[in-house]
Structure 1
Amino acid sequence: MRYLIGKHSITSLLIILLLSSSGLAQKYEVLIITGQNNHHWQSSSKIIKGIFDSSGMFKATIVTTPPKGEDMSGFKPEFSRYDLICLDYNGDPWPDETKKNFVDFVKKGGGLVLFHASDNSFPDWKEYNRMIGVGGWGGRTEKHGPIVYWENGEIKKDKSPGKGGSHGKQDNFVVHTRQPDHPILKGLPKSWMHTRDELYHSLRGPARNMEVLATAEQDPSGGGSGRQEPVLFTIKYGKGRIFHSVLGHVGKNNSNTIKCAGFIATLLRGAEWAITGDVTQKVSEDLPTASNTRIWKDLKAPE
């Protein structure tokens, strides 16, 4: 597997400026779980692996479940071999033994990162809903918890009945930092333009031990809620730390969303925080601004 990085490319700048620190000698083991999704996981999982591996801080392994509808009984990853699990998954339930081992891994202090449609998965798994804070679709309703949004500097919870999960038209939108001193966001722009994506809204869940780090808004004319929706947040679960990003839609012919330099920076910083509780990565000067997107153009997926 090779990652070709241009000497003067955006990729090089991002890696050098974002990740050069004495802590990079440590390579944390990451398990990316995929294999089923309503998005194009065949592309996204390879790009996510490339992001982790190119950083110099992480070494990622991809494991795929059986295809949708096939026997899942043999899907039993050894979670304990890894420092972090990254979910790129929205599909069939896992075996009970695997679910128990996953819960034990996080509860005992294992790191967890999930993005976009992974919060659509497992609507009937109580502990998973606690781990992710809020999620959507899959029959989620008020029985799963309130709708969570941001208003006047704090989390608001709407307990009215209705389904959980929706989004408007894909578009660029501005991400606003709400916790600038949190290790994941410290030093990052207060506001930055995210590359064309689906902005989830009306997500529901227990929302326990949940801290909203950043929000974004989409006008109702574009199918949005008109409210500031949580897009980056953390959850504490037992001794485990979870970083949840609702960003990251990937279609068969469009993966630019997860090549957004803002998405990459927060993913990597969120991953380190989930493992250690701190972030040692330096902040890149090559990030999106409040008015301009920035794509990590030269990332090469594994061959």
Structure 2
Amino acid sequence: MNCIIKKYFALLIFALVVAGFKVKAQPYEVLVVTGQNNHHWPTSSKIIKTIFDNSELFNATMVVTPPKGEDMSVFRPEFEKYDLVCLDYNGDPWSETTKESFVDFVKKGGGLVLFHASDNAFPEWEEYNRMIGLGGWGGRTEKDGPYVYWKDGKFVKDKSPGRGGSHGKQDEFVVISRKPGHPIMRGLPKEWKHTKDELYNRLRGPAKRMEILATAAQDTARGGTGRQEPVLFTIKYGKGRVFHSVMGHVGKNQSNTIKCAGFITTLLRGAEWVVTGEVTQEISSDFPSASKISIRENLKMQAADAKNSP
């Protein structure tokens, strides 16, 4: 009987390969790119790596760029060795060689996950802006694309002039699912509360091949726009898939934003989706409700195991 089952799975894998599907083995390999950020990357990158490693679906390696102002030509990760890249980076431009290698990786089907200030990075890099869909700061304006937000039951692309990127005071906010049938969102509550964080607004960009999964709003009295801004979305770039979360502000003594069970769950589900196009993960019992946040204070922290490039 066991022989029959083994033969069946062997034939199934062969058929998938012939049909052009990539058959990936777990754990999926993640490259966490960090080293420069206007946020406290030594804290955030270690926690992000731990989140991936503790999931059992992923095996994470961290690579650290040279410090700001130093020679970036030595930063040459071998992106092609990984299933996905997670960016915790907002700093100096990469070399043309590294940029070309990264574009090639995603276009050919590599996965990309980014959060918070990584969408501030590389304002002049056209292909990066296409990958991330929406970005902010760095001189982004109407030249870079429209504002995108939810209004009257649909998404609006607003071409009004103005800066790209803003946020109000740090607040708890309610995340509202807009695509409950998407694999990343399937099974999640319609609404759930995220811990105190910066809610980005007025992001703008190419917004092509983009699907917005969730939104959140902040009152104008607190520095928000009062409208439902995108907080979770996906982009398809070439054969690659991208998952973008605007949540995750981390300061030297502030990391609950990325210990939020909602942030962790959506990050991991987004990561699985960019690799496979599906999500197999169950929703944990500690997932936040519409009225109550949920922080995983006791993440099993592991050694960062970072390496400098190259």
**Aligned equivalent of 1:62:** 62
Q: Does 1:187 align with 2:187?
A: yes
Q: Which has the higher contact order (CA 8 A, sep 6+)?
A: 1
**Aligned equivalent of 1:298:** 298
CA distance in 2, matches of 1:301, 1:137: 32
**1:264-288 Cα shifts (integer Å, max 9, x gaps):** 0000000000000000111222210
CA distance in 1, matches of 2:168, 2:47: 25
Alpha-carbon contact 1:25-1:57 (below 8 Å) kept: no
The secondary structure found in structure 1 opposite 2:43 is: helix
How far is the alpha carbon of 1:190 from its aligned partner? 0.7
**Aligned equivalent of 1:108:** 108
Alpha-carbon contact 2:30-2:84 (below 8 Å) kept: yes
Q: Does 1:168 align with 2:156?
A: no
CA distance in 2, matches of 1:90, 1:84: 18
**Aligned equivalent of 1:234:** 234
Alpha-carbon contact 1:47-1:300 (below 8 Å) kept: no
Amino acid at match of 1:229: E
How far is the alpha carbon of 1:150 from its aligned partner? 1.1
Alpha-carbon contact 2:54-2:300 (below 8 Å) kept: no
Q: Does 1:71 align with 2:71?
A: yes
Q: Normalising to structure 1: TM-score of the pair?
A: 0.91
CA distance in 2, matches of 1:66, 1:155: 40
Of all paired residues, the percent bearing the same amino acid is 73
How far is the alpha carbon of 1:152 from its aligned partner? 2.4
Amino acid at match of 1:97: T
> Bigger shift: 154-163 or 205-214?
154-163
CA RMSD of aligned residues (A): 1.2
The secondary structure found in structure 1 opposite 2:97 is: helix
**Aligned equivalent of 1:196:** 196
The secondary structure found in structure 2 opposite 1:196 is: strand
CA distance in 2, matches of 1:148, 1:136: 12
CA distance in 2, matches of 1:229, 1:243: 16
Gaps of 5+ in 2: 1-23, 304-310
1:115–1:149 Cα change, 3 Å? same
Aligned counterparts, 1:1-303, within 5 A:
26-303=26-303
How far is the alpha carbon of 1:157 from its aligned partner? 1.2
The secondary structure found in structure 2 opposite 1:73 is: helix
**1:36-71 Cα shifts (integer Å, max 9, x gaps):** 000000000000000000000000000010000100
**Aligned equivalent of 1:14:** none
CA distance in 2, matches of 1:151, 1:29: 38
How far is the alpha carbon of 1:158 from its aligned partner? 1.3
Amino acid at match of 1:205: G
Amino acid at match of 2:185: L
CA distance in 2, matches of 1:25, 1:240: 18
How far is the alpha carbon of 1:26 from its aligned partner? 1.4
How far is the alpha carbon of 1:25 from its aligned partner? 7.5
CA distance in 1, matches of 2:282, 2:117: 29
CA distance in 2, matches of 1:283, 1:47: 20
How far is the alpha carbon of 1:162 from its aligned partner? 1.1
Amino acid at match of 1:248: G
CA distance in 1, matches of 2:109, 2:213: 21
**Aligned equivalent of 2:4:** none
**Aligned equivalent of 2:6:** none
Amino acid at match of 2:198: E
How far is the alpha carbon of 1:257 from its aligned partner? 0.4
**1:220-267 Cα shifts (integer Å, max 9, x gaps):** 000001000000000000100000000000000010000000000000
Gaps of 5+ in 1: 1-23
The secondary structure found in structure 2 opposite 1:241 is: strand
Amino acid at match of 1:91: G
How far is the alpha carbon of 1:297 from its aligned partner? 1.3
